Amino acid sequence: MNSADFRGWFLKAKFSELGKFSNSLNSHLYMKFFVNNEYRFSLSLVKKPWIKFFDSSPGPESEAGEIQVYENVFAKMTPAERAGLIAHEITHIMGFTHSKKSPDRDKSLPHQVQEYVKTASELMLK
């Protein structure tokens, strides 16, 4: 995410569902990643409760810097998918959000960053 390619892509991207950042330019959003910011997080693999068996989410909602992923979901992911998911969750820690069921959800900053990191990782792993 600190590459020139990511920066170029990010500055041109069109994000939906920016919430409290809706009046921000992409250059200001990009600065949240790198300038005077430190984001700490932990990643835990947790068992998926039976009540969530048909839930398609990869884990419980992240909060307070703790990313939790269902271990059975994580085990089925490729390394590139894992990198994308972690990037997505880090954007939540940074304060970016998206709705659960909006048709624009895939255009949200967390989802677009996830897809970018996944695709870039796939290219690097070839």
Burial of 27 (0-12, 13-18, 19+ CB in 10 A): exposed
> How many CB atoms are located within 10 Å of the residue 76 CB?
10
Closest-CA residue to 35 (of 67, 5, 83, 2): 2
pLDDT at position 36: 66
pLDDT at position 102: 77
pLDDT at position 83: 95
pLDDT at position 59: 86
Joined together, the tokens standing for residue 10 give 């990010």
- Mean pLDDT by groups of 10 residues along the chain of 126 residues: 91 93 94 79 90 83 82 94 94 87 86 96 89
Sorted by where each begins, the domain ranges of the chain are 4-125
pLDDT at position 115: 97
Listed as own residue / partner, the contacts of 74-79 with beta carbons closer than 8 Å and 24 or more positions apart are 74/45, 78/122, 79/121, 79/125
pLDDT at position 25: 95
Angle subtended by helix axes 79-93 and 109-125, to nearest 10: 150
